[in-house]
Amino acid sequence: MSEILDVDLLAFEQGTGSRRDAVVDGVRQSLRTGFVYTSHDLSTDLLDTAYGMLKEFFSLPAEEKAKAIVSGSNGQTGYTGLLVETAATSDTPDWKEMINWGAALPDGHPLKTKYPHRYLGPVLPEDQVPGITEVLLRMYDQVLDLQRRFLRVIAVGIGCHETFFDRMITDGTTLTRAIHYPEMHVAPGESHVWAAEHGDINLITALPRATARGLQVKTEDGWVDAIPPDDGVIINTGIMLEHLTNGAISQGIHRVVADPDQPGDRYSVVQFCHPTPWTILSPVPSCVSPSNPQRFAAIEAGDMLDQVLYDINLIEDARRVGD
């Protein structure tokens, strides 16, 4: 299966019987690639405003963008410059700069008390781009709601109650990342890899929009371009979902390449939906059988995230590439 299918989330939510079953079946089939496209009800005006503000920020001089770096955050909030993050399977840093943000928890919340390095709160370049904080936090909330609803389709597809993921992701460490890939001058017939082959660490990732082509998905038939329908959201699966489903749903392996037929830079915003760090990731019984025996041991979600952040070169005092 190398085809990424387009499904209708709203049909799952508003339909009954066969309509819901058709969406679940389409998602299960498409996720053999680790990717699926879906309809959505995100605000187009909000996306337009957010992408405009982000482009304004990334167009600033380097010394201005550097003011948004949050020392000690290990790439989990604020700005990260070019040639820092490195795919776990690569020794070449990615050609991308990023700004990251998540939701804040109140002081005294048990998750913030136990995992202070997980809940640093959003640090956004409000001084450089006035109004950006309110816009990006609204975008975070809307995309997270979409992810929660889409996880209900996946829950049904793996034989769980549709609310299986709801509590797991409430106050989780979901992270939004705006990425700018700079223009690369690529000769005809050649390509340049902006971001090397990798899988995401989380449950699912949502990409509501990209300003240029470049996302490619690794399938059994080779690399295929991920090109959603107009106004479609791309959903891909992560390592944590693969772990929970005992490999029944694999992580979506992907890369980002500069397209010589579409020169220029590229902007995208991806949101990584995470469970709470104290969630114990253990394969669900419905995904374990004599033909698919349990292959993964239980692990705390926060511990798994720490390992991957090290592997991808984001732990500031333990860079394996570049320092």
DSSP letters of 154-218? HHHHTTS-TTTTHHHHTT---EEEEEEEPP----TT--EEEEEEE--SSSEEEEEEESS--EEEE
SS3 135: helix
Contact indicator for 199, 145 with CB cutoff of 8 Å: no
What is the pTM (predicted TM-score) of this model?
Answer: 0.94
Residues 6+ apart with CB under 8 A from 295: 246, 247, 283
Q: 44-58 and 132-157 are packed helices; what angle lies between their axes, rounded to 10 degrees?
A: 120
Domains and CATH numbers, the chain: 6-311 (2.60.120.330)
Q: Are strands 97-101 and 222-225 parallel, antiparallel or unpaired?
A: unpaired
pLDDT per position as a tens digit, 125-176: 999 999 999 999 999 999 999 999 999 999 999 999 999 999 999 999 999 9
pLDDT per position as a tens digit, 170-218: 999 999 999 999 998 777 767 788 999 999 999 999 999 999 999 999 9
Q: Is 313 left (phi over 0), alpha (psi -120 to 50) or beta?
A: left
Angle at 150 between CA 147 and CA 151, to 5 degrees: 85
pLDDT averaged per 10 residues, the chain (length 323): 90 92 97 96 96 97 94 86 84 91 94 92 94 97 98 98 97 97 80 90 97 94 93 96 97 92 90 98 97 96 89 68 64
In the DSSP assignment, the letter for residue 65 is H
